[in-house]
């Protein structure tokens, strides 16, 4: 989203030509949160970033309507999501969305230039930075809406900005023609850049969640048709992934891991939702259950093969994918008594517990899984594994992860009631 070399160079310009302080502190907060050494300073930088951007909001439009302010809101939204501040993160990305629309980032490649706020880009790199910023906002909106159970704020059909090109093209200032999102959905992802493939994967991820939340009675007869269309779209995405984004061949690539996890999670959600709505036992639909099982197993294998767990799990979607797969394995074990599902659940739980020692989001999801397991009354042994993380887990609000009983999908949504401290000693009996 930000050209690193140009950003560093801009810090040595006169004060009035430097990036706004809100962006500088947002970048510092993002960097500090990824460093064990500077992590204690991350929230301090984040608070300063919000203070500066709120001051800028009270000034004239020229002091807050800029690409840099848009980027600052996106970075702060990501920081807030990593700290479980989901409502705040949603509000921050909402500001970024409206600001991006004011700047015209959603129609950078449109034919009508009337009403555009930003001046013409000086070169391809500047134009591509605007394009990448827009698509980061787009994917963040999709992810926030999907995992939170909220409607999206951007209509993909009205977008007149082409998909982002490769990082190499951005850094080398080499113009490359790319497809639109609509074209990519029809043609597949063979020729797309890694960034563009991620946009398509997130879009399909969101479409599958929209299907899972669509429970109108007058559309019930179309459920299986919609399921088939989405299943074919995701299957086509897997089939047309560039070779450097396929797993398990490219486990060293964070983008490859993330894209594959998103697509597998999407498949689990649409099939799980269809099964719940059909009100039939999963055993009566072996094909559908097999699709869910296959994706859940692939998530488990992908997570198991990841080398640097703490780095990969910094992205909440990795934790969410692991949680969705583990929830399915637990449900299958409780329903059928399948020992392989129990083993798969335990394997994912072990990884989440280990990562949860340094990751609040992953820890909270592991605790929710442990509570579900204990409530089932089947096995207490696995529950005790999360006891070691309780001393380091400071949860001052309800644990995220609410199951929607109408469609069987777990969503991450804060509640408006006064939060109560969770007494883990009473909620879970540790062994």
Query: Distance (Å, rounded) from C-alpha 29 to C-alpha 203?
Result: 28
Scan for tokens 């430097």, then name that residue: 18
Query: Distance (Å, rounded) from C-alpha 191 to C-alpha 169?
Result: 14
Nearest to 330 by CA among 318, 342, 339, 343: 342
∠ at Cα 135 (77, 200), nearest 5°?
115
Phi, psi torsion values for 215, nearest 5 degrees: -120, 25
Domain ranges of the chain: 1-178
In order along its 431 residues, the chain shows pLDDT tens digits of: 888 899 999 999 998 889 999 999 999 999 999 888 999 999 999 999 999 999 998 887 766 789 999 999 999 999 998 888 888 999 999 999 999 999 999 999 888 766 678 888 899 999 999 999 999 999 999 998 887 778 889 999 999 999 999 988 888 888 888 999 999 998 889 889 999 999 999 999 999 888 877 655 545 556 677 778 888 999 999 999 999 999 888 888 889 999 999 999 999 988 887 766 665 444 445 577 888 899 999 999 999 888 777 778 888 889 889 999 998 998 888 888 888 998 899 889 888 888 887 887 888 888 888 877 777 766 555 555 555 544 454 555 555 556 555 555 556 666 555 544 545 444 443 43
Query: Distance (Å, rounded) from C-alpha 285 to C-alpha 279?
Result: 11
Give tens-digit pLDDT for 183-197: 999 888 988 999 999
Give tens-digit pLDDT for 34-82: 888 999 999 999 999 999 999 998 887 766 789 999 999 999 999 998 8
Instruction: State the pLDDT at residue 282.
Output: 47
Task: Specify the DSSP element, H or E, that contains 223.
Answer: helix 223-239
Scan for tokens 């951005």, then name that residue: 170
∠ at Cα 21 (20, 27), nearest 5°?
100
Instruction: State the pLDDT at residue 427.
Output: 43
Query: Distance (Å, rounded) from C-alpha 260 to C-alpha 20?
Result: 36
Instruction: State the pLDDT at residue 429.
Output: 39
Query: Distance (Å, rounded) from C-alpha 42 to C-alpha 26?
Result: 9
Q: Which two tokens stand for residue 169?
A: 């093209």
Query: Distance (Å, rounded) from C-alpha 29 to C-alpha 239?
Result: 38
Instruction: State the pLDDT at residue 424.
Output: 44
How much is the CA Rg of the chain, to the nearest whole Å? Answer: 22
Q: What is the pTM of this model?
A: 0.86
For residue 290, count other CB atoms closer than 10 A to its CB. Answer: 11
Q: For the chain, give the longest Cα–Cα distance.
A: 70
Phi-psi category of 179—alpha, beta or left, where left has phi over 0 and alpha has psi -120 to 50?
beta
Dihedral angle sign, alpha carbons of residues 18, 23, 26, 31:
negative
Instruction: State the pLDDT at residue 8.
Output: 93
Q: Which residues contact 243 (CB under 8 A, 6 or more apart)?
A: 249
Instruction: State the pLDDT at residue 410.
Output: 58
Instruction: State the pLDDT at residue 317.
Output: 87
Burial class of 330 by CB neighbour count within 10 A (0 to 12, 13 to 18, 19+): buried
């Amino acid at each position: 989203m930000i050209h690193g070399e140009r950003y560093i160079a801009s810090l040595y310009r006169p004060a009035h030509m430097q990036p706004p302080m809100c962006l500088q502190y947002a970048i510092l907060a993002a960097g500090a949160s990824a460093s064990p050494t500077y992590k204690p300073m991350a929230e301090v930088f984040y608070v300063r970033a919000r203070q500066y951007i709120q001051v800028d909001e009270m000034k004239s439009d020229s002091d807050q309507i800029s690409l840099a302010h848009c980027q600052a809101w996106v970075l702060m939204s990501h920081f807030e999501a990593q700290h479980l501040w989901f409502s705040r993160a949603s509000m921050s990305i909402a500001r970024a969305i409206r600001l991006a629309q004011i700047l015209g980032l959603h129609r950078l490649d449109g034919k009508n230039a009337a009403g555009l706020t930003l001046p013409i880009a000086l070169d391809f790199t500047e134009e591509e930075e605007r394009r990448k910023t827009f698509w980061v906002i787009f994917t963040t909106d999709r992810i926030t809406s999907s995992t939170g159970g909220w409607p999206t704020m951007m209509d993909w059909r009205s977008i007149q900005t082409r998909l982002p090109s490769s990082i190499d093209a951005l850094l080398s200032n080499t113009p490359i023609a790319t497809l639109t999102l609509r074209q990519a959905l029809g043609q597949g992802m063979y020729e797309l850049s890694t960034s563009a493939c991620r946009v398509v994967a997130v879009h399909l991820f969101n479409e599958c969640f929209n299907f899972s939340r669509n429970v109108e009675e007058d559309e019930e007869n179309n459920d299986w048709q919609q399921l088939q269309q989405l299943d074919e779209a995701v299957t086509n995405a897997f089939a047309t992934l560039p070779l450097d984004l396929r797993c398990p061949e490219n486990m060293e690539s964070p983008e490859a891991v993330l894209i594959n996890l998103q697509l597998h999670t999407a498949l689990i959600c649409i099939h799980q939702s269809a099964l719940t709505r059909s009100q039939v036992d999963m055993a009566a639909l072996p094909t559908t259950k097999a699709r869910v099982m296959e994706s859940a197993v692939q998530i488990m294998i992908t997570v198991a093969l990841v080398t640097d767990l703490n780095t990969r799990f910094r992205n909440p979607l990795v934790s969410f994918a692991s949680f969705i797969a583990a929830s399915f394995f637990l449900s299958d074990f409780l329903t059928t008594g399948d020992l392989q599902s129990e083993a798969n659940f335990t394997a994912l739980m072990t990884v989440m517990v280990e990562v949860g020692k340094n990751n609040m989001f992953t820890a909270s999801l592991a605790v929710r899984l442990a509570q579900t397991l204990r409530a089932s009354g089947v096995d207490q042994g696995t529950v005790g594994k999360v006891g070691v993380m309780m001393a380091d887990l400071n949860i001052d609000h309800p644990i995220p992860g609410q199951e929607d009983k109408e469609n069987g999908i777990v969503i991450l949504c804060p509640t408006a009631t006064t939060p109560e401290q969770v007494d883990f000693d009473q909620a879970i009996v540790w062994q």
